[in-house]
Amino acid sequence: MERCPTCNTKYQGIRTCRRCKTELGPLLEIEEESLTHYKAALEAYSLNDFSRMFFHAKRSFSLLQTPEARRLLACAALLTRRFKLSLALVLSS
């Protein structure tokens, strides 16, 4: 997280925004869980376990829709023969 989603002030690394006092903890936990699933998808890829890769890539992207997570999910969809989903992800970026 680079900025507070409420007041747009620069994120200072604490769980409560210094300006507007918004609780940022739940958002930080979502980012962390998304990253955990992203890394698990990469690990599954290295083990050629494409169905597990797809599961984790889909979960990562559903939690935090970053360009990196979108590309990983598109690759996982392609490797698991979900061609329509892969194409939709590539075209929507």
- Which residue has better confidence, 25 or 1? 25
Averaged pLDDT, 67-89 = 97
Query: Is residue 1 over pLDDT 90?
Result: no
CB atoms within 10 A of CB 25: 11
Kindly report, residue by residue over 9-24, the tens digit of the pLDDT.
Answer: 999 889 999 999 999 9
Mean pLDDT along residues 2-9: 92
The pTM (predicted TM-score) of the whole model is 0.87
82: left (phi over 0), alpha (psi -120 to 50) or beta: beta
What distance lies between CA 66 and its chain's CA centroid?
Answer: 6
- Tokens encoding 29: 């936990």
What pLDDT score does 22 carry?
94
The predicted-structure confidence for 29-57, as pLDDT tens digits, reads as follows 999 999 999 999 999 999 999 999 999 99
